[in-house]
Amino acid sequence: MGSAPAPSFDFSSIPILDYTLLASPATRPAFIAQLRTALTTAGFLYLLHPPVAPDLRANVCELAPRLFELPPEAKERMRMRNSESFLGYSRLGAELTRGAIDMREQCDFATPFEAQIRKGEEKEYLRLWGPAQWPAEDELPGFRTTFEAYLTQVEVLSFEFIALIGEALGLRSGALDQCFVDPDTDTGASARPRLQHRAKIVKYPARAPGAGDQGVGPHFDGGFLTFLLQASPHPGLQVQNLAGAWIDAPPLPDTFVVNIGKALETVTQGIARATSHRVLSPPVGSTPRYSIPFFQSIAQDVRIGDIKLEFPEEILKLKEQRGALGVTESVNYAEYNELPSGLVNLIGRIKSHPDVAERHYPELFKKFFPNGMPLYGSAY
Ligand SMILES: O=C(O)CCC(=O)C(=O)O
Ligand SMILES: [Fe+2]
């Protein structure tokens, strides 16, 4: 536990940044300054008027509940257990966070996977990128095309946002691009290789009378940036501030919630904060809450400890002034400095979904679960 942070560097609400400020040279600097503050204090922000087509956002919100209304056989056909890439459907209550059951049902998807000639097929973590499982076209017409079009637009935004973050933190232009390229890839600087990003559709049912309210327990996200579309009007998302208090992040019209994952925190030497967050289940008798997070990936072979970024003195000072975290209820991913990012991600998936691991990664399963199949998976 560190010393108490200076109050002015803590936060009691999540900052709202208006993307349209970027359109004019007169207002752009204000956006960059607000971004710098958001990254170094809350590690969370609302992006208002994001450049992802409003009709696509509306359509994925409309389609999300219908995925869970498919007949049980259709969901069974899409089970994550079929996929060595941990993509597909997970039933309600299959996961734990910090020892308690998460009351959510979800389906993991990903941006299109293009099979490539890969060096180093012996690296098991390369299997994490693969084809998603989609509902059949006649079961949910338009689902796949709508969702893939949505993910393509969020991916473009995610790279644009990384450039803005580099600028806000005083890095030379393109400094963060090395995170998106495998270290031994011999491409010109111009070509960005095709990365696969993950996304989920999540359903949080109302809590049952007398049951707990953990939709998902306190955790950090693992990757680079998360873009969360809150797909129903329910509150429930909360973000932990430096003093340990839980701050509400309710859905706001025409926004994404954007937050920093542990890989981005690590590569910025802790200047941009990964922030602990959780979701409380809707109250007894409520309709379900839905959300759609997009998790930006980096190249699988990149080991963050090998990337040395040079930050200006005044930026490093912001981290010092913020002070240490008072309290967090989440556990750290310390491994990003030491291991290739793909391996860190694979270990997280194995711990969360042991049934998938036992089938597709038997050696790693034995290593992490020497006593056989646990009742539940638990990443954190
Ligand atoms: O459902 C939400 O609003 C947040 C979900 C989340 O934090 C996650 O899946 O990592
Ligand atoms: Fe999260």
Given the CA of residue 221, which atom of ligand 1 is nearest to it? 10
Q: Is 14 exposed, middle or buried (0-12, 13-18, 19+ CB in 10 A)?
A: buried
Given the CA of residue 237, which atom of ligand 1 is nearest to it? 3
Domain that holds residue 368: 16-378
What's the gap in Å between 23 CA and the centre of ligand 2? 30
**Ligand 1 pocket residues where CB is under 6 Å:** 202, 216, 221, 228, 237, 277, 279, 291, 293
The answer to whether residue 177 is domain-embedded is yes
The answer to whether residue 357 is domain-embedded is yes
Given the CA of residue 257, which atom of ligand 1 is nearest to it? 3
What's the gap in Å between 227 CA and the centre of ligand 1? 10
The 10 Å Cβ neighbour count of residue 341 is: 25
Q: Which amino acid is at 213?
A: D
What the block records as the tokens of 165 is: 């973050």
Given the CA of residue 249, which atom of ligand 1 is nearest to it? 3
Closest-CA residue, ligand 1 atom 9, reads: 293
Q: How many CA atoms lie within 13 Å of 218's alpha carbon, on the beta-carbon side?
A: 16
pTM, two decimals, is 0.94
Pocket test for ligand 1, best of 262, 291, 329 (most atoms within 8 A of CB): 291
The answer to whether residue 287 is domain-embedded is yes
What pLDDT is attached to residue 374?
80
The answer to whether residue 5 is domain-embedded is no
Crossing angle of helices 143-168 and 54-68, rounded to 10°: 120
What pLDDT is attached to residue 322?
86
ipTM score assigned to the predicted complex: 0.99
* First-to-last C-alpha distance (Å) of the chain: 19
The answer to whether residue 9 is domain-embedded is no
The answer to whether residue 3 is domain-embedded is no
CATH number of the domain enclosing 365? 2.60.120.330
**What's the rounded Cα separation, in Å, for the pair 193 and 182?**
9
What the block records as the tokens of 338 is: 């030491």
The answer to whether residue 10 is domain-embedded is no
The answer to whether residue 286 is domain-embedded is yes
What pLDDT is attached to residue 6?
47
Domain count, the chain: 1
What pLDDT is attached to residue 1?
44
Tens digit of each residue's pLDDT (9 = 90 or more) over 98-145: 778 899 999 999 999 876 655 556 799 999 999 999 999 999 999 999
pLDDT < 70 positions in the chain? 1-8, 115-121, 186-193, 326-327, 329-334, 376-380
